[in-house]
């Protein structure tokens, strides 16, 4: 349960985040950035940093606001509502999630909170059927070799945080984007963003942390980012639903608004219920994750959130197109932007089918352990 004080804090946070994004131009800003071929706006990143957005979930003693993941979720929902292309969730969940757990003294932490630095996290590797379970990216004698895949925010970042294997186990290292022997290939995504594929050949990098703690912090950070991505999808779905609701109230065929046809009304109600269930589930998950220390339970909670949010976003954005008719299939209406963004956010960090499997396996393991 939330205290009413905490509830009020989150409400105020939501209001100020919404105002900030709306003043910046809402979804129209995202469209303009995409059309200009830019991935995100560095000025916006700075502005978000100044507003304290990135530091919401970082403890106060480390320079953040100490409001927990629940507050991160509030921000993520607002990001989703305006389909902002800035890597807010990746920064809060992965970048800051790793730094604050492994090396809170590192100056990058403060710079990242302030929106003065950009940092993309490279942790996954490509295997034959998707993400590989084994890491082959090596770190030895201060240099990286191997590759990483699906790096969010790779275009336009100054530095990469890389999780690699060293002789003594996993390490977290920092490599400059302009470092020797680093080739970044961008793969275009449906929403106009891109994912980076990195290839290192003797790329110099500085070690920030090593040992089992790196693996532990990575799992925690990935769980945080997964739950926050779910929140971003919740905000996105909610807004896509609102746009659709407006449309079916105004579009007329057969001399009445199409929203007067009972089949359309029932569809709209189903979407609304779907959005509300997803929002309730994801908000509950984030709050429970804040109070939970057991890493495997946190991971299971995050999977629950992402599974629900992806299912909801898929249903809402696909039906939204259908209810718009042909205009929904154009780029001129915003609803298509929401569909495209949902495709990207759903694939990132695992879709619903993937997370339902993880959730079930984790549940079985916990059962066996009891």
Contact by Cβ (8 Å): 309, 231: yes
Which of the residues 310 through 329 are near another protein (CB under 8 A)?
A: 314, 318, 321-322, 325-326, 328-329
Q: Which is nearer to ligand FAD, 105 or 255 (CB)?
A: 255
Nearest distance in Å: CB 156, another protein: 18
Q: Tokens for 59? A: 């403890």
What track of x and - describes contact with another protein for positions 214 through 253 (by CB under 8 A)? --------------------------------------xx
159 close to 167: Cβ distance less than 8 angstroms: no
Closest contact distance (angstroms) between CB of 352 and ligand FAD is 24
**CA quadruple 14, 62, 205, 123: dihedral positive or negative?**
negative
Minimum CB separation from another protein for residue 310, in Å?
Answer: 10
Q: Which does 344 bind (CB under 5 to 8 A by kind): another protein, ligand FAD, none?
A: another protein
C-alpha atoms less than 13 angstroms from C-alpha of 343 in its C-beta half-sphere? 13
CA-CA distances (angstroms) from residue 339 to 27, 76, 142, 273, 312? Answer: 13, 17, 43, 19, 12
Q: What distance in Å separates the CA atoms of residue 236 and residue 244, rounded to the nearest whole number?
A: 12
Query: Quick one: 292 or 354, whose CB is closer to another protein?
Result: 354
Tell me how far apart the alpha carbons of residues 193 and 180 are, in angstroms, rounded to a whole number: 25
Closest by CA to 287, choosing from 295, 298, 296, is: 298
Using the minimum distance from each CB to another protein, give the nearer residue, 64 or 328: 328
**Footprint on this chain of ligand FAD (rule: CB under 6 A):** 251, 253-254, 258, 261, 263-264, 322-323, 325-326, 329
Q: How far apart are CA 314 and CA 353, in angstroms?
A: 12
Check if the beta carbon of residue 14 is closer than 8 Å to that of residue 74.
yes
The residue whose two tokens read 């932007």 is: 337
**Least spacing, CB of residue 29 vs another protein, in Å:** 19
CB closer to ligand FAD out of 142 and 325 = 325
Locate 268 and state its tokens: 């709209």
Q: How far is the CB of 243 from ligand FAD (least distance, A)?
A: 14
DSSP state, residue 329? G
Near another protein by CB under 8 A: residue from 5, 61, 105, 332:
332
Near another protein by CB under 8 A: residue from 40, 123, 150, 200: 150
Q: What does the binding site for another protein look like in residue numbers (CB under 8 A)?
A: 124, 128-131, 149-150, 187-191, 195, 252-255, 258, 261, 263-264, 314, 318, 321-322, 325-326, 328-332, 336-337, 339-340, 343-348, 350-351, 353-354, 357
């Amino acid at each position: 349960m939330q205290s009413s004080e905490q509830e009020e804090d989150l409400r105020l946070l939501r209001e100020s985040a919404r105002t900030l994004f709306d003043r910046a131009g809402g979804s129209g800003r995202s469209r303009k950035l995409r059309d200009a071929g830019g991935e995100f706006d560095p000025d916006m990143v700075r502005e978000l940093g100044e507003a304290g957005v990135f530091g919401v979930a970082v403890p106060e003693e480390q320079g953040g606001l100490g409001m927990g993941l629940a507050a991160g979720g509030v921000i993520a929902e607002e990001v989703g509502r305006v389909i902002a292309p800035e890597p807010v969730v990746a920064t809060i969940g992965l970048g800051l999630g790793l730094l604050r757990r492994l090396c809170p003294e590192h100056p990058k932490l403060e710079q990242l909170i302030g929106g003065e630095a950009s940092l993309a996290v490279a942790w996954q590797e490509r295997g034959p059927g998707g993400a590989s379970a084994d890491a082959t990216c090596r770190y030895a004698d201060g240099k990286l070799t191997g590759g990483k895949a699906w790096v969010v925010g790779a275009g336009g970042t100054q530095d990469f945080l890389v999780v690699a294997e060293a002789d003594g186990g996993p390490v977290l290292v920092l490599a400059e984007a302009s470092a020797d022997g680093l080739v970044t290939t961008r793969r275009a995504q449906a929403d106009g963003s891109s994912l980076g594929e990195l290839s290192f050949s003797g790329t110099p990098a500085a070690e920030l942390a090593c040992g089992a703690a790196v693996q532990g912090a990575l799992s925690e950070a990935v769980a945080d980012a997964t739950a926050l991505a779910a929140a971003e999808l919740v905000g996105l779905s909610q807004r896509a639903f609102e746009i659709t609701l407006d449309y079916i109230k105004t579009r007329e065929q057969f001399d009445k608004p199409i929203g007067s046809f009972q089949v359309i009304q029932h569809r709209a109600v189903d979407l609304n219920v779907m959005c509300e269930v997803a929002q309730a589930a994801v908000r509950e998950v984030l709050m429970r994750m804040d109070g939970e220390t057991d890493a495997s339970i946190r991971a299971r909670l995050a999977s629950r959130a992402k599974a629900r949010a992806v299912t909801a976003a898929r249903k809402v954005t696909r039906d939204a197109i259908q209810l718009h008719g042909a205009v929904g299939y154009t780029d001129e209406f915003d609803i298509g932007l929401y569909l495209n963004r949902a495709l990207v956010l759903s694939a990132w960090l695992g879709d619903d089918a993937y997370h339902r499997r993880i959730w079930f396996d984790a549940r079985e393991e916990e059962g066996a352990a009891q």
